[in-house]
Structure 1
Amino acid sequence: MNQHQLDRMKNGKGFIAALDQSGGSTPKALADYGITEDAYNNKDEMFDLVHQMRTRIITSPAFDANHILGAILFEQTMDRSIEGMYTGDYLAEQKDVVPFLKVDKGLAEQTDGVQLMKPIPDLNDLLTRANERNIFGTKMRSVIKEANSEGVKAIVNQQFEMAKQIIHADLVPIIEPEVDINSPEKTKCEELLKAEIRKHLDSLKDDELVMLKLSIPTVTNMYKELIDHPNVVRVVALSGGYARDEANELLKLNDELIASFSRALLQDLYASQSDEEFNAALQQTVESVYNASV
């Protein structure tokens, strides 16, 4: 494990940029950027375009280590290059931004009020490649929609089971059991989730480190005891469908919770912008999310 990167993630000021839209979410990400589906003929062309978008973001002077601690990448992005370097190496060496890899394969159908992750049959091979590409950690997402204790328990069990496999590969897992912000039982879901996560954290060995990526809680500082847990490197928040300004304001209420936004980070960026316009828009966004995080 890279100790400099661990120290940055544990003690640095800033936030994590989530640039990990996968095959299912890429068409919408491109559409929001101003590239409609008639601009590409197949998935290869689609992924070329989204890599161009990500490259434009990462190489922008606004994307800097003074504000951004880490970036979460899609598998294809990890295997692609920026300015002749693998993306993870470019982030680490040119930007001092810690690279993470999204490893989940999407969501299963809803059962017991939750959506577990689909199986990840090639996880060991993926973790081997992540190490070869100098990736620091991983991220995996599942979703809680109802305050069903059995469902929440199943979500957390699955996340920590895979997290241990990732830890043993000398990577730091970001555990992301998202609570749907539109759930009428959101607060109860968060109470159940916190209790289950705490049980698993308390069972970890001293050197088994994780990060948590959670929906911004309804009750302010709900997750403070998780933030303070010795096995937790950092707790980050997803925007979860909130517009950026609302997500920022909610985030500010929670001590030591930092952002890991995706849609909220990209919402003012467009393919049609000049480089000057693009960089200015990204700079404004980066500063607003940074201020909410610190």
Structure 2
Amino acid sequence: MTTQAQQAMLEKVKNEVGFIAALDQSGGSTPKALKAYGIGEEQFSSDEEMFGLVHAMRTRIITSPVFIGDRVLGAILFENTLERDIEGKNSAVFLWENKRIVPFLKVDKGLEADADGVQLMKPIPELDGLLDKANAQNVFGTKMRSVIKTANVEGITALVKQQFDLAKQIIAKGLVPIIEPEVDIHSNSKAQAEALLQAEILKHLNILGTEQLVMLKLTIPDIPNFYQPLITHPNVIKVVALSGGYKRELANQKLSENKGMIASFSRALSEGLYADMSDGEFNGALETAIDGIYAASAT
């Protein structure tokens, strides 16, 4: 990517109002996403067919006339999407050149089993190669997810360290990492986990160099505006919120109570979109979703 394009993307994410669409369901979550869209597992018999169907779903969203860069700042893609085209262009290139939407790439390979109240990321042995591919295809940043189940100090400390260790590797390749330590919305110690998480993130942010910029993707906190110290930190470009299983209406309501935090919704964005809709129905339902998520992100 040229320095000019990267700077334009950085200015957009940093300064414009909008949200980031999470279109990065991977192998494990793709059947669930397709089922919600109205395509059951009986309609595909291989991974290749499954990924073809989910790419068609994502293409329908991305090419919709209502999915545009004045409200959608960015979109997170799965690696398989990066290898496919939209209207004859590489997917990430299409997003930026045709829609003025900043492309991000999901780089994690899924989660380890529960230990110390968290699920760390599985190893990403080919990360450097994946980052080179992202750079070659106009991608601005990355996203990687781990999960916190309980307010366990040792677990949260290890999880945040893993995220920042990988973030530094990503920054060294010229990309902006979205660090996603999700706190499970069903955790019986959610507020305590969020307090531990924020303190640990601040420790790591405070030792970054001035040019080492990150984004954070966090569960909407129990206490409104709890993450203001992260939102205003000089090393943080943006703090985005995951919907975490909340229905869109509730996710929007909770998000709107958090000044400066914007959405990066997946299920809440595609809620109510179905494969058998006419284009008019589909675009109308998507516009309703975008309008609500945009309004909640603009607070």
1:59-138 mapped onto 2 (5 Å cutoff): 59-138=63-142
Alignment pair present for 1:184 and 2:155: no
Q: Give the letter aligned to residue 178 of structure 2.
A: I
User: Deviation per CA, 1:129-151, whole angstroms, max 9, x where unpaired?
Assistant: 00011100000000000100000
Is residue 248 of structure 1 aligned with residue 252 of structure 2?
yes
Give the whole-Å Cα distance in 2 for the aligned partners of 1:9 and 1:267.
25
Between the aligned partners of 1:20 and 1:5, the Cα distance in structure 2 is 19
Structure 1 residue 231 corresponds to structure 2 residue 232: no
Given residue 37 of structure 2, which amino acid in structure 1 is its aligned partner? Y
1:6 equivalenced with 2:29 (yes/no): no
Q: CA deviation at 1:79?
A: 1.1
Structure 1's unaligned 5+ residue stretches are none
* Equivalent residue for 1:211, pick from 215, 220, 244: 215
The corresponding residue for 1:153 is 157
TM-score (norm 1): 1.00
CA distance in 2, matches of 1:145, 1:36: 30
Aligned partner of 1:44 in structure 2 is 48
Deviation at 1:114, TM superposition (A): 0.2
Question: Which residue type is aligned with residue 245 of structure 1?
Answer: E
In structure 2, what residue type is equivalent to 1:168?
Answer: A
Distance 1:220 1:37 in 2: 39
The residue type equivalent to 1:210 in the other structure is V
Q: Secondary structure at the match of 2:56?
A: helix
Amino acid in the other structure paired with 2:176: V
Question: 3-state DSSP class of the match of 1:126?
Answer: helix
- Of 150, 161, 175, 1:171 maps to 175
SS in 2 for 1:261: coil
Provide TM-score, normalisation by structure 2: 0.98
CA distance in 1 between partners of 2:81 and 2:16 (Å): 25
Secondary structure at the counterpart of residue 264 of structure 2:
strand
Give deviations 1:149-177, integer Å, cap 9, x for gaps.
00000000000000000000000000000
Q: In structure 2, how many angstroms separate the alpha carbons of the residues matched to 1:45 and 1:220?
A: 43
**Stretches of 4+ moved more than 6 A in 1?**
none
* Aligned residue pair count: 294
Kindly provide the amino acid, as one letter, of the partner of residue 128 in structure 2: N
For residues 134 and 289 of structure 2, the distance between their equivalents in structure 1, rounded to whole angstroms, comes to 29
1:66 CA displacement: 1.3
Q: Percent identity?
A: 61
Deviation by residue 1:186-205 (Cα, 9 ceiling, x = unmatched): 00000000000000000000
Aligned position for 1:281: 285
Equivalent residue, structure 2, for 1:263: 267
Shift of 1:41: 1.0
Cα deviation for residue 118 of structure 1 reads: 0.2
Q: CA RMSD in A?
A: 0.5
Is 1:193 aligned to residue 197 of structure 2? yes
Residue 159 of structure 2 aligns to a residue in which SS?
Answer: helix
Partner amino acid, structure 2, of 1:204: L
Whole-Å separation in 2 of the counterparts to 1:140 and 1:103: 6
Q: Deviations over 1:105-131 (max 9, x none)?
A: 000000000000000000000000000
SS of 1:264's equivalent?
helix
Unaligned runs of 5+ residues in structure 2 are: none
Q: Partner amino acid for 2:236? A: V
Deviation digits for residues 214-238 of structure 1, max 9, x if unmatched? 0000011110010000000000000
1:27 paired to 2:35: no
